Chain A
Amino acid sequence: MPQGVCVIAEQREGVLRKISYEIVSEGRRLADELGQKLLVLLLGSNIEKQAELFGNYGADKVIFIDDPELEVYRPDVYKEVIAQIIEKEEPSLLLMGASAQGKDLAAGLSAKLDVGMAQDCTSFSIDNGNLEALRPVYAGKAYARLTFENSWPQMATSRPNVMNISEIDTSGTIEIVEEKINIDESSIKTKVVEIIKDKGERVNLTEADIVVSGGRGMGGSEHFKVLEDLADLLGAAVGASRAAVDSGWRPESDQVGQTGKVVSPNLYIACGISGATQHIAGMSTSKYIVAINKNKDASIFQKADFGVVANLFDVVPYLTEEIKKFKE
Chain B
Amino acid sequence: MNIIVCIKVVPDTENDIKIASDGKTILTDNIKWVMNPYDEYGVEEALRIKEKLGGEITVISIGSKLVKEAVRTALAMGADKAIIINDAAVEGSDSIASAKILAATIKDLDFDLVFTGQRGIDEDMGVVGPALGELLNIPHHSLAVKVEINEKEKTVRVNKPVEGETLVVESSLPALITAQKGLNEPRYPKLPAIMKASKKPLEEKGLSDLGLSPSDFGKDARKLKIIELIPPPERKEGIIIEGETPQEKAVELARILHEEAKIF
Contacts and interface: CB of A to CB of B under 8 A. Distances in A.
A258 B231 contact: no
A266 interface: yes
Contact of A143 (B38, B230, B256, B257): B230
Contact of B17 (A109, A141, A323): A141
A151 B170 contact: no
Interface string A124-147: 000000001001111111111111
Given A75-B140, A111-B99, A197-B165, A306 B228 contact: no
Interface stretch (A26-34, A52-60, A214-222, A314-322): A314-322
B124 interface: yes
Interface of A: 72, 74-76, 79, 99-101, 103-105, 107-112, 114-120, 132, 135-151, 189-198, 204-207, 210, 234, 251-253, 255, 258-260, 262, 266-267, 276-278, 281, 284, 288-290, 296, 301-311, 314-316, 318-319, 321-323, 325-327
Contacts of B11: 138
B135 A111 contact: yes
A74 B167 CA distance: 10
6 contacts: A104-B143, A138-B122, A190-B139, A206-B163, A305-B235, A318-B247
B250 interface: yes
Interface stretch (B72-80, B203-211, B237-245): B237-245
A148 B99 CA distance: 18
A107 B225 contact: no
Given A149-B223, A190-B139, A305-B239, A143 B232 contact: yes
Interface in B71-120: 94-96, 99
Contact of A326 (B140, B228, B264): B264
B42 interface: no
A260 B258 contact: no
A139 B121 contact: yes
A104 B142 contact: yes
A107 B130 contact: yes
Given A143-B229, A204-B164, A107 B131 contact: yes
B134 A108 contact: yes
B162 to A, nearest CB: 4
Given A107-B129, A192-B167, A306-B256, A253 B161 contact: yes
Given A107-B131, A111-B130, A144-B229, A116 B223 contact: yes
B134 A144 contact: no
B163 A301 contact: no
B238 A307 contact: yes
A198 B99 contact: no
B170 A190 contact: yes
Nearest to B143: A100
B172 A288 contact: no
Given A137-B122, A137-B124, A144-B226, A198 B166 contact: yes
B229 A193 contact: no
Interface string B151-190: 0000001011111111111111001000001100000000
Contacts of B53: none
Contacts of A276: 13-14
A308 B26 contact: no
Contacts of A302: 238
A147 B160 CA distance: 32
B129 A196 contact: no
A306 B241 CA distance: 7
Contact of A147 (B142, B163, B225): B225
A72 B225 CA distance: 34
